[in-house]
Structure 1
Amino acid sequence: MVINDEFKGCSTQMRAERERLGYSREQIAERAHISPRYLAAIELGEKIPKADVMVRIIRAMGASADAIFYGPQQEVENESKHLAQIILQCTPKERMLIAAIVDTILDVRQRECGLGETEEL
């Protein structure tokens, strides 16, 4: 059983995705055959929809389920894949330079945060 705390991230992401796609709550509610008030309660994490309702909402937005369920995590994975593709196109010397730049950035961040060598970032 899903509890509100577990669903809260999905509900927040659902609203963000709807707004990013430029849809009003009323438009999506109509397309998903639910009331705008019910959609608002879902987006606020007050109500947890059944699976079929969730599917209708996602389809009504034309969104990816990954965008709703894995939002920020999916963005990081996409960025990582993009960076990996870019790095694979580089020569070995260019890859060494990229690694040195990243190491420098991490060292500076570590010093700015005042972390010791044994502490994690």
Structure 2
Amino acid sequence: MQKERETENFVSLGTDLKEARKVLGLSRRALAEKVNIDPRYLANIENSGSLPSLPVFYQLVKICKLPVERYFFPADSELDGKERERTVLKLELCPKEYLPIIEAAIDGAISLKETGEA
């Protein structure tokens, strides 16, 4: 009997890692060194859709600040839509000192919606 791996949840992993790595200003070599893997292995994950081992996956998503639930619970992520998903990812990558500004913008948007001005 042939074993099947569920991979559809991880289709975007490589692209997500590459984008997050660039936003964080990390070269492929620098990220690979942080995770203690060969840069070619990381290139295969980013470009060829290779699936990393669980310990490597954990380190990559932790360093790149990617939401783990996106890969393990995609149905939950899909309920919120792609815009919300992109916003959450960007929020994870945002420097801490800018969070009060973002929070104020969100509060303003919610206020507009509540008053019917949106």
Q: Calculate the TM-score normalised by the size of structure 1.
A: 0.57
User: Are 2:13 and 1:2 aligned?
Assistant: no
Q: Which amino acid aligns with 1:13?
A: D
Equivalent residues in 2 for 1:1-121, closer than 5 Å: 1-3=5-7, 5-59=8-62, 62-66=63-67, 69=70, 73-76=84-87, 85-89=107-111, 95-98=115-118
Structure 1: runs of 5 or more not aligned:
99-121
SS at match of 1:48: coil
State the one-letter code of the partner of 1:86: G
Shift of 1:31: 1.1
Between the aligned partners of 2:20 and 2:29, the Cα distance in structure 1 is: 15
Question: Which structure has the bigger radius of gyration?
Answer: 1
Query: Conserved in 2, the CA contact under 8 Å of 1:32 and 1:56?
Result: yes
Q: What TM-score comes out, normalization by structure 2 length?
A: 0.58
> Secondary structure of 1:65's partner?
coil
Q: 1:88 to 1:39 in 2, by over 3 A?
A: closer
Inter-partner Cα distance in structure 1 for 2:89 and 2:108: 12
Deviations 1:38-72, CA, capped at 9 Å, x for gaps? 0000011431011111112233xx33231894686
Identity of aligned residues (%): 21
Does the 8 Å CA contact 1:42/1:49 hold for their aligned counterparts?
yes
Q: CA deviation at 1:10?
A: 1.6
Residues 14-45 of structure 1: CA distance to partner in whole angstroms, max 9, x if unpaired?
A: 11000111100000111101000000000114
Q: Give 1:112's aligned residue.
A: none
Q: Distance in 2 between matches of 1:90 and 1:72?
A: 19
